[in-house]
Amino acid sequence: MFHLGPYYGGYHDNPAYLSLFWPSLKQSLYLSVQHPGMFDPARHYAFGTDRHFTEITADEVEDIIQAMKIARVAFLEGIDMLLLTCEDDAFRSILARSDESFPEWVWSDKRHIIQAVCDEIKKGRLVFVPKRDDLRACVEAMRKRRRERPAPVERTERLDPRSCAQRMYGKTPRVPQNLDATSDIPEAMALADGQAFEYRADIAGGDTFELAARSISDADEADCFAAYRFEMKQCDFVRAMTQDVRAYGVCKETAFHNYQTCRGF
């Protein structure tokens, strides 16, 4: 069964995408809102083209899912227009397609019925299905935007932890000498008689300093986050296709671990 996931508001990756689905808001409500079990994104996307739905790749399905999320926002923002064009029976019939049961007071009032329909769409229990042309136009617009983005700059040199620390603190870092030696100074006198640490190059280049001065540039941080977002999209695809909560959790954990490793943690 197709799973779009819940909508929590605030999704506007590109407001121009929303306008691509305005023609879909004019189609019959009976056609545009379906039960997720009756919808196949690959079949809907490929219908009317020279491609079979089995030829749709996993990356394309991921783009279709993202476009469906944008279409859902367009539907929720255009609900006022639908109120002027749709009869009460249309919303009542759409709400009946949900697997959820509703109390009698919901069915007795048009406002409650419409609110219930919107809530079901937000939760992903009902799916707004846009016109195929609108869906394909949105997918193509997202791909075009990705192609126009500048390619990320690859890291060509290894970060020097000493130079990173020097930029952070404004002076040459100092580390204690004789780290492995046992101190003979009484505990009560240790702080009062302590001497300033001296910098030694052989110690500063060791593992202790490598751990203490870990840092990356803003560009590297952006690259790491971009890779993390891509992996999370793959996780969303796994969840949408398999409905396996455990696999989705493992996928998210792995993506976050890779993100932290990329950032130097």
- pLDDT tens for each residue of 21-69: 888 888 888 888 989 888 888 899 999 889 898 898 888 989 999 999 9
Q: What single-letter DSSP state applies at residue 141?
A: H
pLDDT of residue 210: 42
With 0.85 as the threshold, say if the pTM is over it: no
- At 78-107, the pLDDT tens digits run 877 777 667 778 888 989 999 998 998 989
> In this predicted structure, what is the pLDDT of residue 206?
47
Alpha-helical (H) ranges within the chain are 15-19, 29-32, 41-46, 58-77, 79-85, 88-95, 104-107, 110-123, 132-148, 161-169, 201-204, 207-212, 218-242, 245-262
- pLDDT at residue 78, rounded to an integer: 82
Q: Determine which of 36-40, 166-170, 250-254 has the lowest per-residue pLDDT on average.
A: 166-170
pLDDT (0 to 100) of residue 252: 84
Residue closest to 87 by CA, chosen among 118, 63, 110: 110
Q: Look up residue 128 and give its DSSP letter.
A: E
CB 137 within 8 Å of CB 45: no
The confidence score (pLDDT) of residue 178 equals 52
Among 13, 28, 116, 153, which Cα is nearest to 73's? 13
Tokens of 128: 């707004």
In the block, tokens 């009317």 appear at: 48
Half-sphere exposure of 141 (CA within 13 A, CB side): 18
Per mean pLDDT, which range of 65-69, 176-180, 217-221, 246-250 is the poorest? 176-180
pLDDT value, residue 14: 64
Ramachandran angles phi, psi of 34, nearest 5°: -135, 165
d(CA 162, CA 165): 5
Flag whether pLDDT at 108 surpasses 80: yes
The most confident of 6-10, 107-111, 183-187, 242-246, by mean pLDDT: 107-111
Residue 153 pLDDT? 55
Residue 63's pLDDT is 92
Rounded Cα distance between 250 and 234, Å, is: 12
Question: Do you know the residue count of the chain?
Answer: 265
Is pLDDT of 228 > 70? yes
- The pLDDT confidence band at residue 261, using thresholds 50, 70 and 90, is confident
